[in-house]
Chains A and B, each alone.
Chain A
Amino acid sequence: MAGTQTERAREHKDRPGESPAEYLDRYGRMRLIRRFEQEIHGLFLKGEVHGTTHLSAGQEAVPVGVCSALEPDDYAAGTYRGHGHALAKGTDPEALAAEMLGRATGVCGGRAGSMNVIDLPNGLVGCFGIVGGSIAAATGAAMSAQRQGRVAVAFFGDGASNQGYFHECLNWAQVFDLPVVYVCENNFYGEFTPMASVTAGGEIGIRAASFGMQSQVVDGNDLWAVREAALEAVGRARGGEGPTLLECQTYRHYGHSKSDPAKYRPPDEVERWLARDPLDLARARLLDLGLSDDDLASKDAEIDAEMGRAIENALAAPYPDPEQDSGTEFKE
């Protein structure tokens, strides 16, 4: 499958949006997410990030591939494992880091924290702390999008495919022909429990068939494969041909949340997935397409510098002042 995708990448590289240079930028966005999660992990251990946090390292190709198929004013809804969703949709890394740190300069002024990030100017209608919430938010955004010529995307995990939100909303979207793409990031674990032991039917993509909905199972660690599937689904949505379910199979490098060492995952399984790290796959493909080690090294340095500045500035930002934060219950 990887070989086929590489061949296709080679064939398509002169097409608009498919050049190695553009993929290098997408790889850079993936590295930004990876570096962000590493920094947040470190800051959590130092007590700078509070409560809990859910890291998406290992899953970067999904949001980056999907969002690369969107226009800036299209909508997306993410999950409590949503740092990657926000960064892929265009949220400023410094504002996102400041939010994690509870600072006044955070994207939500420090009111949201890690699990509930909202960034409407970048089309992120929200990240939701309740499993499945993003599915409804994107479905509703698609009702507006249908009138505005836009598209909405829901990111959610395999666990959410067993929630009422999933079944009710997929039926809803199909009935109303909504321009929405449901992107299931299947990382094979719902919190600590293996997906297979609590999910009937084997795969999630197949569930779309019962709604008469288009679906595709995608290698979620292959940026090119995700983007290709997303372009097709987004094109269908924008063309008035209704919703699509994409099951993107991937793997998280960390546990479910900060308190989870993920000892329930067999070591050989972890090893197998780490050998298919989406960043490594992207680097190999880019070299194969003619980019040099120097091209990659300079992109890495650029991203690392950006992340360094973002974290430094976020750490220097003030906490919100309870005397000054005049939050209101209602909009007047």
Chain B
Amino acid sequence: MSELEFRTAIRDAIDEEIERDPAVVFFGEDVAAPGGVFMTTPGLHDKHSQDRVFDTPISELAMAGAAFGAAVTGLRPVIEIMFGDFMALPMDSLVNQSAKFWYVSNEQASVPLVVRSAVGAGGRFGAMHSQIHATWFQGIPGIKIVAPSNPADAKGLLKSAIRDDNPVIFLEHKRLYSMKGPEPTEETVPLGKAAVVREGADITIVSALRGVRDALDAAEDLAGDGIDAEVLDIRSLRPLDHETVLESVARTNRVMIVEEGTRVGGWAGNLLGILAAEGLHDLDDAWIVATDDTPAPYSPTLEDAWLPAGAEIAAAVRERLGVAAAS
């Protein structure tokens, strides 16, 4: 069976949507002729015209603002803000223009716009190239946030994001770009729906992006100790699909949420708050594994310790459940 690489899934999704819809345009810094700094979009510029795929100045505010103005007048821009950290620069346009337009205009028009970025730590990029900006935006009504954990979902979710009539922030974890996985079975994957990626009876582990891979590793590890963990991939952070998590927790009665980000102000806390408000009767235990309250460090030893990895996730479950490691 042929396998799909994550970065190819991203490129194919953009390629196919440019082909499908003449309104779709794709632009960003170094995305066209150079093919992207993570080699996610090679060949698109050659295949499609300069009108559809082009390089821009290093002007994130202008890029997001121009994408907004283009989106409310007939185009469907897909833009790349290279690293998620750079999303601090275009925030005014995204927060005050794109996110508010549909509601404030009294629904005269929506803003079909996708903003892709490479996110996350573990690449030794240091504090200003390792953040996940999702939580900066999670409290803003009117903007969707999508966070795939595997190649098939990346393709299907990105295609859905491009077809969606609303602004969508699309996260691509750097440590997933080289991941290979099964080809998608469906053309698109719906936004706002979590997925059960491993069934289990004893505990629900919820994560996103690379964290889902780590949670699956932990679940394998825990199986050796007789702990049957269910793993949920939240896939979208706004809308946040708490229903699927509640259904899982009703069966397992325990939930651990793993976030690459700090506990205060994180999406895990938001989710746990909703679970407590709506599912307290089903919960015997609930907690969060997060990163330390410091910026992401550079040195490999420091960065590895800072990130929640599979072993740490498994250890947290054992400790909480009072189970000793089998080996």
Contacts and interface: CB of A to CB of B under 8 A. Distances in A.
Given A112-B104, A331-B107, A142 B69 contact: yes
B106 A148 contact: no
Contact of A140 (B70, B92, B166): B70
A165 interface: yes
Q: Which of B51, B73, B142 has the most CB of A within 10 A?
A: B73
B68 to A, nearest CB: 5
Contacts of A75: 73
Contacts of B137: none
A128 B69 contact: no
B101 interface: yes
Most buried by A among B64, B67, B92, B96: B92
Given A126-B97, A128-B96, A172-B56, A143 B61 contact: no
B172 to A, nearest CB: 22
B57 A168 contact: yes
Interface residues of B, number: 40
A136 interface: yes
Contacts, number: 141
B178 interface: no
A120 B108 contact: yes
A168 B101 CA distance: 22
A169 interface: yes
A112 B61 CA distance: 23
Nearest to B69: A140
B106 A109 contact: yes
Nearest to A137: B69
Contacts of A164: 61
Interface in B146-187: 165-166
A107 B106 CA distance: 8
A28 interface: no
A164 B106 CA distance: 29
Nearest to B67: A140
A172 B101 contact: no
A58 interface: no
Contacts of B63: 172
B102 A331 contact: yes
A121 B108 CA distance: 8
Interface in B77-107: 92-93, 96-97, 100-107
Which of A125, A130, A135, A327 is the most central at the interface, judged by chain B CB atoms within 10 Å of its CB? A125
B57 A108 contact: no
A107 B109 CA distance: 13
9 contacts: A133-B96, A137-B69, A142-B69, A143-B25, A143-B70, A144-B69, A152-B69, A172-B57, A330-B110
Given A139-B66, A331-B102, 17 more contacts: A107-B106, A111-B106, A112-B105, A118-B101, A118-B105, A126-B97, A126-B101, A133-B92, A136-B66, A140-B72, A143-B69, A144-B69, A175-B57, A329-B141, A330-B110, A331-B107, A331-B110
Interface of A: 75, 77, 106-109, 111-112, 116, 118-121, 125-126, 128-130, 133, 135-145, 147-148, 152, 164-165, 168-169, 171-172, 175, 327-331
In the complex, the 4 A-B pairs of residues with the closest C-beta atoms, listed nearest first:
A140-B69, A136-B65, A168-B62, A144-B73
